[in-house]
Amino acid sequence: MPNPTEKIWDHERQRRNQKLARAASALGASQRDKVVPADMAVQLLEAVLEPGDRVCLEGNNQKQADFLAQALTRVDPARVNKLHMLQSVLALPEHLDLYELGIAEQLDFSFSGPQAARLARMVGKGQIRIGAIHTYLELFSRYFVDLTPHVALVVAQSADAQGNLYTGPNTEDTPAIIEATAFKNGIVIAQVNELVDKVPRVDIPGDWVNFVIPSPRPHFIEPLFTRDPAQISEIQVLMAMMAIKGIYAEYGVQRLNHGIGFDTAAIELLLPTYAASLGLKGKICSHWALNPHPAMIPAIEAGFVKSIHSFGSELGMENYIAARPDVFFTGADGTMRSNRAFSQAAGHYACDLFIGSTLQIDLAGNSSTATLDRISGFGGAPNMGADAAGRRHASPAWLRAGEQARSQRPGIPRGRKLVVQMVETFREHMQPAFVAELDAWKLAESAGMPLPPVMIYGDDVTHILTEEGIANLLLCANAEEREQAIRGVAGYTEMGLGRDLRIVENLRDRGVIQRAEDLGIDKRDATRDLLAARSIKDLVRASGGLYQPPVRFRNW
């Protein structure tokens, strides 16, 4: 029997220790405790990175480790190369420069909004090898399975000399990244806006962090969830009325997640007016997994909302959130604590409804935001907009949806999540939202993807809501009815014009399709006067001056 002490079980730890020793000698006296000056960032990265390392560069939906991203583009590619990058969001040009500079080689990611076109070009030229495109939860999960980072480059608001980090309201992905890295022999480097004697609260304990670099500039942060109520159209008001009366009230939806956009902002702004006039306060929309949308302020002030847990924060909302700790999750210091991983899990398992917009829907109800020449990824929508097949706890909305599904496909009793796609039949530039074939198919072919990038699969969608009405897909008996139900709300698009009038009228008689008038909604009532706020200024006033919108949203 071999002596167990002969086998080495700490290769990874030894490798980390060697890297740390190299770092110590490169930094010399410039390092104090865990603090490394900004002008030594490149030397530090060259000391701790080895060719082929998996590197998680924190790019979130909102905040960006932009200083570390720039530093990484300046390392010597002869020493540091073939890196395998892990990123939830590709947002900055530097994120792609790494591949042109020969520093990085492979990429696993979730979302690439602003860089989607360049990413597609670089993949086309063979400059980047994509491992896979994930949802946020999938990517975080893989950090703990087969994509554990060797080095994590993260971002926080402030730190002390011992490496304790304060993330402020935008905690976002940081805990998930550091948890995976620090406890599996990895190295964590944080850029911070300021060095302080004592952090306002400890978001990440110092012994999980190896180095702290005060950044010359505060990190970049994007206000992604601010929608100016002035831009909400009366069509969107009508659709929001149908959502509230035809779906929220119908199922008694108390726990939910809203996608980003003007369609859902209209719903948020109709809660204290239209929904309240229907007597729905306390009966719908009490608990949310949601970023702190400024459009939620009037509903919160009206007492509609009991709780909101957030993926990230939103610029300008900090003081408002801090003043409403009954609603938002806040720390002992008063500011919000967000957490993308937990909020995504909450949205998947604890919410009864997801509602969001999309660009294209096919006749099976599959929807996609993919367009040709852009690889934009998924983000979090697929986890929100999917039935949680692993869910076991019941709620009235979940049971009711499950019952409707079983009315057509009998089986053992189980619940069902409501997944609603809300689109105008024509989107901007008169592009039809309903199509025979999603552009995702062509994109998959041209980019060599194993599957067309579908955001929400048709068999997960329960309702499609357009200005023409609501199609309840749960009540469709078969694929043919489903197709006609979708055509029946597809308006004057080619798909809508191709409807079978007889079947569509039959579906309407059965309540599978409901028009505004079937719901008792007079279209003439759908005016912007119903919005609880009609401008950003109204939102500021509704918040009692606590909401401080970024300059670009102000006209004062």
Partner 1 sequence: MIHSYYESSARARIAGLLDADSFHEWLFAEDRVTSPHLAILEQPAAFDDGVIIGQGSIAEKQIFIAAQEGGFMGGAVGEVHGAKIVGVLERAVRDHPAAVLLLLETGGVRLQEANAGLIAVSEVMRAILSARAAGVPVIVAIGGQYGCFGGMGIAARCASTIIMSEEGRLGLSGPEVIETARGVEEYDSRDRALVWRTVGGKHRYLLGECDMIVPDGIAAFQHAITASIEKGDDWSLAALEQEHQLLADRVKRFGACKDGRDIWRELGWADPDALAMMDNDEFVAAAQGHRAK
Residues that bind partner 1 (CB under 8 A): 273, 528-530, 534, 537, 540-541, 545, 551, 554-556
In the complex, the smallest distance separating the C-beta of residue 545 from partner 1, rounded to whole angstroms, is 6
Helices (H) and strands (E) in the chain, counts: 21, 20
Q: Which amino acid is at 474?
A: L
> Are the C-beta atoms of residues 392 and 435 closer than 8 Å to each other?
no
State the Cα–Cα distance between residues 127 and 35, nearest whole angstrom: 35
- Is 184 or 541 the residue whose CB approaches partner 1 more closely? 541
d(Cα 90, Cα 377) in Å, to the nearest integer?
Answer: 10
Residues 51 and 105 sit within 8 Å (Cβ to Cβ): no
Residue nearer to partner 1 on the CB measure, 273 or 408: 273
Cβ proximity to partner 1, 296 vs 540, nearer residue: 540
Query: Residue 185 or 273: which CB sits closer to partner 1?
Result: 273
Instruction: Choose between 18 and 527: whose C-beta lies nearer to partner 1.
Output: 527
In the bound complex, what is the minimum distance in angstroms from residue 355's beta carbon to partner 1?
Answer: 25
d(CA 189, CA 136): 22
- In the complex, least distance from residue 80 CB atom to partner 1, rounded to whole angstroms: 43
Rg (CA), the chain: 25
Q: How far apart are CA 25 and CA 31, in angstroms?
A: 10
Cβ proximity to partner 1, 12 vs 529, nearer residue: 529
Short-list 34, 10, 173, CA closest to 91:
173
Task: Return the number of the residue (511 or 544) whose C-beta is nearest partner 1.
Answer: 544
* Spatial separation of the C-alpha atoms in residues 81 and 47, rounded to whole Å: 13
Q: Can you list the pairs that 294-297 forms with residues at least 24 positions away whose Cβ atoms lie under 8 Å?
A: 294/225, 294/226, 294/227, 294/536, 294/539, 294/547, 294/549, 295/227, 295/229, 295/265, 295/268, 295/269, 295/533, 295/539, 296/268, 297/533, 297/539, 297/542, 297/543, 297/547
State in angstroms the smallest separation of the CB of 550 from partner 1.
Answer: 12
Classify 520 as helix, strand or coil.
Answer: coil
What is the smallest separation between the CB atom of 276 and partner 1, expressed in angstroms? 11
Nearer Cβ to partner 1 (11/552): 552
234/518 with CB nearer partner 1: 234
Token duo for residue 380: 């979090």
Q: Which residues contact 47 (CB under 8 A, 6 or more apart)?
A: 19, 22, 23, 25, 26, 27
- Under a CB-based contact definition with an 8 Å cutoff, are residues 395 and 366 in contact? no
- Kindly state the smallest distance separating residue 529's Cβ from partner 1, in Å: 5
For partner 1, the closer CB: 94 or 228? 228
CB of 265 to partner 1, least distance (A): 16
**Spatial contact of 493 and 433, defined as CB atoms under 8 Å apart:** yes
C-alpha–C-alpha distance, residues 331 and 322, integer Å: 9
Min CB(277)–partner 1 separation in Å: 9
For the bound state, the minimum distance from the C-beta of residue 528 to partner 1, rounded and expressed in Å, comes to 6
CB of 296 to partner 1, least distance (A): 20
